[in-house]
Structure 1
Amino acid sequence: MKQDTIGSKVLAFLAGNLLDPTPFNYRFGYLYLNRTSKVIVEETDTYIDSGMRMTQEAVAEIMQKFAQASEDPAERIAARDEALDLFLDAAGELARETQRQAGDVGRDIAEESQVIREGAEGEDLTSAIGRIVDRAAQAERELANSSNRIDRLQRDLEEARNKALVDELTGIANRRAARTTIQDLETRKVRYCIAIIDVDHFKSINDTYGHTVGDRALKLVATALEESLAPWPVARWGGEEFLVIAEIPDPARMVEKVQAAKDDLAFRKLRLRETDEPMNPITFSAGVAGCSSTSEQTLRRADNALYKAKQSGRNTVLIAPETGRVGDA
């Protein structure tokens, strides 16, 4: 299918469903007409086969399902960002629509009131009062409908925002949420420390027991870290790495707590769910750093300390000094 042809067909598809030719909708139409995504094709065909017109809400829902089904993290993040933009646009348009409705009601009631003030009597007076009552009742219904739509948009927006900041596998904060937290600390000029934690020999867990067990192991580590390091927030930084952020100025104090969390995890007696056979202990290595002049420098120093910890034999927590060589905790 030639590019100019598919472009015309996408625009025709959008026009046929009264959808605005926005980048979000164009991408949806392009993926559907190219039969690129099974999720998009099946969901959209269901609407079309039932004779229903595609609505903007339906497109957003389908694209969200497409994002959730995608194995590409970047694809999921991009689709979530688009959904957030869509919800914000819809909320803005709804607010403007409500304002227009309020203005129309005011004008209609003002016109009928003028008729009464000019001395309407008998049936004319009764009719004018009836029209005011009817218009007020209609306005109340429209306002209730708008209020329900706003509530629904708020719920959808909150859900989309939460999903954009949560790691799907472990249920804890993701990399984006962690960066947002760090940015907020720096904006408020709060001193902080971070720890980058890496599960030791994670590949061997996947190779020995399979990826399903590997996923369960990551969930276990996430839960264990949240329990041991509370109230400090823990985020999945990527792969088998986790990031911990502490609003404290002393990295040595953070090292102590991360070390205790490491020991607590290593002492757990783990068994394979399917066979009840014992599993090797899960350990991790970590690098800790106090905040530098920029978040990137802080992250780099913590990552360098983590690298040294892994080089030194793993199952170790190292602290990144302000200058000089990385030292053992």
Structure 2
Amino acid sequence: MNKDLQELTDDTIREIRKLEIVLPEIYRDIFYAMAKKRGITINEDDKEEALTYALVKIQKLSQETQKSAHELQEHVAQAQEAVENRDDEALHTIQDDLMALEKKIKRLQHEIYLDSLTGMFNRRWLFEKFLDDNTFTCKGSFAFLDINDFKSVNDSYGHETGDKVLQVLARVLQKMENVSVVRFAGDEFVIVSIVHSSEKLHQMLSTVYKNLKSTPLKTGEQKFFVSFSYGVSDFDTGDTFSDVYIRVDALIYQDKANHKAEKV
């Protein structure tokens, strides 16, 4: 399976896990929507290969998660028995087993909550960390951004270069202090802070924008520049994700219009 198709399939799996639905029609709709947005043409062989890969991966992760949960229960029961019997040797053995199990669980969490391309948190982590049933459980500031003309980067320099652009932007955003950065989908990123006001977050992103826009990126002998559009809003406990997203989406639309006006 080629890299673009594998990443597309992995991202589709993450979307399904977030929805907690594994139905063929849901998988198909999300898969083709993502493919269309990324400009990836899917033929019948690709579809069959991607579906097989996805089902195997979902089944494996589900089995490993269930097995880890069962092992954890067994170790806890064994530890309780060892404590009651004052069996130090058994406790040491159980401790070693629990450390190994902890590493395994962390690996599974890495698989579930981190984006494979950028190593950043994914949408599922965002929703489980800050929301309950689409409603924010805390207050803070929220930013949404996407790369300007990202499709032209892929078309001009190839998807591998496009991936590197996403990785560069991810690393730059991660340098911001007291924020959580999420790769939401494709070239879209979400930044959440429970420390900074929307004004402060806007200032921080403005600095990132200016630095990125003035820094040439290189592929082979070619140099090019990238920039992004963004919107920032405060959110409060009880606000819905949809309402906050609508606010920042309107700001992104205006930001993009301003960028286009600057080029004229």
TM-score, normalising length from structure 1?
0.55
Does structure 1 residue 277 correspond to structure 2 residue 258?
Answer: no
Aligned to 2:234: 290
Superposed, which structure 2 residues align to 1:1-329 within 5 Å?
Answer: 80=61, 83-100=64-81, 140-183=88-131, 186-187=136-137, 189=138, 191-227=139-175, 229-248=176-195, 250-272=197-219, 275-278=220-223, 280-292=224-236, 293-313=239-259
CA distance in 1, matches of 2:186, 2:261: 18
Q: Compute the displacement of 1:177 (Å).
A: 2.0
- Corresponding letter in the other structure for 2:149: H
Q: Compute the displacement of 1:312 (Å).
A: 4.5
Q: Are the equivalent residues in 1 in contact too, given 2:121–2:182 (CA < 8 A)?
A: yes
CA distance in 1, matches of 2:111, 2:183: 14
Distance change in 2, residues 1:183/1:96 (3 Å): same
Q: Gaps (5+ residues) in structure 2?
A: 1-51
Q: Are the equivalent residues in 2 in contact too, given 1:196–1:243 (CA < 8 A)?
A: yes
CA distance in 1, matches of 2:80, 2:261: 61
Q: Are the equivalent residues in 2 in contact too, given 1:249–1:290 (CA < 8 A)?
A: no
Matched position secondary structure for 2:117: coil
Q: Are the equivalent residues in 2 in contact too, given 1:196–1:302 (CA < 8 A)?
A: yes
Q: How far does the alpha carbon of each residue in 1:118-172 deviate from its partner, in whole angstroms, 9 at most, with x for none?
A: xxxxxxxxxxxxxxxxxxxxx5544433322222111111221233221111112
Distance change in 2, residues 1:297/1:77 (3 Å): farther
CA distance in 1, matches of 2:192, 2:110: 19
- Corresponding letter in the other structure for 1:83: E
Q: Gaps (5+ residues) in structure 1?
A: 1-69, 107-138, 317-329
Q: Larger radius of gyration, structure 1 or 2?
A: 1
CA distance in 2, matches of 1:315, 1:222: 27
Matched position secondary structure for 2:74: helix
TM-score, normalising length from structure 2?
0.67
Matched position secondary structure for 1:235: strand
CA distance in 2, matches of 1:225, 1:78: 34
Q: Compute the displacement of 1:296 (Å).
A: 2.9
CA distance in 2, matches of 1:98, 1:214: 50
Q: Compute the displacement of 1:100 (Å).
A: 4.9
Give % identity. Answer: 22
Q: Are the equivalent residues in 1 in contact too, given 2:121–2:181 (CA < 8 A)?
A: yes
- Corresponding letter in the other structure for 1:267: S
- Corresponding letter in the other structure for 1:162: H
CA distance in 2, matches of 1:283, 1:76: 35
Equivalent residue pairs, number? 207
More strand by share: 2
CA distance in 2, matches of 1:222, 1:254: 16
Q: Compute the displacement of 1:98 (Å).
A: 4.2
Matched position secondary structure for 1:271: strand
CA distance in 2, matches of 1:75, 1:209: 33
CA distance in 2, matches of 1:170, 1:287: 22
